[in-house]
């Protein structure tokens, strides 16, 4: 029997409307609706076209997929997704990202099922932040500053560099992936109902400084806004949460005491070029350095306006000095976990892809944002697994 829900899951994950999919198949929107609601089954020619579009096997459509077989209350909730974006997201886009994360969450669960994790540091940081927020009378500005300082300390970042920012956040327990999100969205993050945290970073060409800010911004959402229903926010509330995440990112990336000391060597506060050495030191953009200086009262409003005007005049809003030199951090946690699990015989990736998921390698490349060649080497090996064995996940993992 053809499972229409499987088709709906794939279509939504790929960001296609029924009308768009109908165009790909040279059929009607009504036909797609009938397939998904199982009023009609597609013929073999249509199923063949579907498997090519979505990089799955014929069998995918004739048994419950990994999403349909899950309990409904375990699914990713669209209202929990926090975007780094200047505008509120359309519900259709949020549904697409939620569906993508549903598939990813199943994959991560299967990957980690034979690995025993140490206590996740990100959960400890979140709980410590919540306990502080529930008892403090500090202003919101001071709350954000203190939580950023707490996060930096607990993650193990020294005050002189952000070089290992992504590595330490992945090591803390956050799962970070990349994908082409779109031109208006830089990143997003969420907590699942069972306490797993995700960040999705845009894979479009980015500088190291902008990527660090995306990561820090999303960490701000995870720690400051972990209980918010983002889809219920109006425009002003959305702007407020984005501003708070921006302030958190500045505070995390530029620790207050070390930054104040470094600023003593800046002679012209309104000249962006005077901050280039600090950009190299902390791998943050000149815009962020100027914003932090203004936020700490080191730069008056007039000087900050002149600073921003200089950025525009020098065309630094498009590309800043060092943007082509500083190395871009890439997510490595999932690749390391796959390496570890397969080398220890705990995971048969070929079986997972082809038999359990009824998919092809390009499906997993799109799902994870990892190059297809990485999966191909394991699929071609067809390694065996050691059933029932559970291994500790030690410091080898990011």
Alpha carbons 176 and 167: distance in angstroms, whole number: 10
Q: What confidence score (pLDDT) does residue 114 get?
A: 79
Give the pLDDT mean for 39-67. 94
- Assess whether pLDDT exceeds 90 at residue 238: no
Distances, alpha carbon 135 to alpha carbons 123, 132, 141, 207, in Å: 19, 5, 15, 39
pLDDT tens digits for range 163-214? 999 999 999 999 999 998 876 678 999 998 888 999 999 987 679 999 999 9
Alpha carbons 35 and 61: distance in angstroms, whole number: 11
Give the pLDDT mean for 115-135. 90
Q: What count of Cα atoms within 13 Å lies in the side-chain half-sphere of residue 320? A: 27
Which comes out higher in pLDDT, residue 78 or 171? 171
Which comes out higher in pLDDT, residue 68 or 238? 238
- Cα dihedral 379/381/382/387 (nearest 10): -110
Those residues with Cβ within 8 angstroms of residue 293's Cβ, 6 or more apart along the chain or in another chain: 263, 266, 269, 299, 304
- Assess whether pLDDT exceeds 60 at residue 392: no
Q: What confidence score (pLDDT) does residue 74 get?
A: 53
- Assess whether pLDDT exceeds 90 at residue 360: yes
- Assess whether pLDDT exceeds 50 at residue 390: no
pLDDT classification of 12: cutoffs 50, 70, 90:
very high
Distances, alpha carbon 311 to alpha carbons 188, 259, 354, in Å: 27, 21, 51
Helices (H), 156-204: 165-172
Helices (H), the chain: 4-13, 18-25, 29-36, 44-54, 91-112, 121-135, 140-155, 165-172, 208-224, 235-253, 256-262, 276-282, 286-295, 301-313, 333-343, 349-351, 361-368, 372-381
Q: What confidence score (pLDDT) does residue 193 get?
A: 84
Helix axes 372-381, 333-343, angle to 10 degrees: 10
Which comes out higher in pLDDT, residue 255 or 96? 255
Q: What confidence score (pLDDT) does residue 72 get?
A: 46
Give the pLDDT mean for 351-355. 94
Q: What confidence score (pLDDT) does residue 299 get?
A: 94
pLDDT classification of 398: cutoffs 50, 70, 90:
very low
Instruction: Write out the DSSP string of 259-279.
Output: HHHHGGG-S-TT-GGGGHHHH
Q: What confidence score (pLDDT) does residue 365 get?
A: 96
- Assess whether pLDDT exceeds 90 at residue 31: yes
Q: What confidence score (pLDDT) does residue 388 get?
A: 47
Least confident stretch, 25-39, 65-79, 88-102, 204-218: 65-79
pLDDT classification of 396: cutoffs 50, 70, 90:
very low
Give the pLDDT mean for 25-52. 96
Longest dimension (CA), the chain: 73
Alpha carbons 389 and 398: distance in angstroms, whole number: 22
| R_g of the chain, CA atoms, integer Å | 23
For CA atoms 114, 116, 122, 127, give the dihedral sign: positive
- Per-residue buried b or exposed e for 339-366, using 16+ beta carbons within 10 Å of the residue's own CB: bbbbeeebbbbbebbbeebbbbbebbbb
Distances, alpha carbon 221 to alpha carbons 225, 286, 310, in Å: 5, 23, 31
What does the chain come to in residues?
398
- Assess whether pLDDT exceeds 50 at residue 113: yes
Alpha carbons 395 and 216: distance in angstroms, whole number: 23
Distances, alpha carbon 229 to alpha carbons 83, 144, 234, in Å: 12, 20, 11
State both tokens at 386.
């050691």
pLDDT tens digits for range 265-278? 999 999 999 999 99
- Assess whether pLDDT exceeds 90 at residue 103: yes
Q: What confidence score (pLDDT) does residue 386 get?
A: 52
Q: What are phi and psi of 31, to 5 degrees?
A: -65, -40
**Among 70-74, 97-101, 356-360, the range of highest mean pLDDT:** 356-360
pLDDT tens digits for range 274-331? 999 999 999 999 999 999 999 999 999 999 999 999 999 999 999 999 999 999 999 9
Alpha carbons 115 and 127: distance in angstroms, whole number: 24
- Assess whether pLDDT exceeds 60 at residue 383: no
């Amino acid at each position: 029997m053809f499972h229409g829900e499987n088709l709906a899951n794939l279509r939504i994950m790929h960001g296609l409307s029924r009308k768009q999919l109908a165009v790909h198949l040279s059929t009607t929107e009504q036909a797609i609706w009938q397939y998904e609601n199982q009023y009609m089954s597609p013929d073999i020619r249509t199923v063949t076209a579907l498997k090519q579009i979505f990089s799955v096997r014929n069998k995918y459509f004739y048994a419950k997929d990994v999403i349909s077989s899950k309990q409904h209350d375990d699914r990713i909730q669209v209202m929990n997704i926090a975007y780094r974006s200047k505008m509120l997201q359309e519900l259709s886009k949020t549904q697409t990202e939620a569906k993508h994360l549903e598939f990813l969450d199943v994959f991560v669960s299967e990957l980690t099922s034979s690995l025993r994790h140490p206590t996740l540091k990100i959960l400890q940081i979140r709980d410590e932040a919540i306990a502080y927020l529930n008892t403090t009378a500090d202003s919101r500005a001071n709350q954000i500053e203190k939580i950023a300082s707490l996060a930096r300390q607990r993650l193990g970042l020294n005050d002189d560099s952000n070089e290992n920012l992504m590595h330490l956040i992945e090591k803390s327990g956050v799962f970070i992936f990349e994908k082409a999100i779109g031109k208006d969205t830089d990143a997003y993050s969420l907590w699942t109902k069972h306490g797993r945290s995700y960040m999705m970073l845009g894979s479009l060409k980015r500088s190291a400084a902008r990527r660090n800010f995306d990561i820090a911004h999303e960490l701000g959402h995870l720690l400051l806004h972990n209980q918010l229903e983002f889809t219920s926010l109006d425009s002003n509330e959305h702007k407020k949460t984005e501003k708070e995440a921006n302030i958190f990112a500045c505070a995390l990336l530029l620790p207050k005491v070390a930054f104040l000391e470094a600023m003593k060597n800046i002679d012209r506060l309104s000249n962006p070029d005077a901050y280039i050495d600090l950009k190299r030191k902390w791998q943050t953009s000149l815009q962020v350095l100027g914003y932090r200086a203004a936020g700490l009262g080191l730069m008056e409003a007039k000087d900050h306006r002149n600073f921003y005007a200089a950025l525009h005049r020098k065309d630094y809003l498009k590309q800043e000095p060092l943007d082509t030199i500083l190395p871009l951090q890439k997510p490595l946690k999932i690749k390391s976990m796959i390496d570890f699990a397969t080398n220890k015989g705990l995971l048969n990736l070929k079986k997972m892809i082809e038999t359990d998921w009824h998919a092809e390698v390009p499906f997993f490349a799109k799902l994870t944002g990892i190059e297809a060649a990485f999966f191909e080497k394991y699929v071609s090996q067809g390694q065996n697994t050691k059933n029932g064995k559970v291994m500790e996940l030690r410091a080898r993992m990011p």
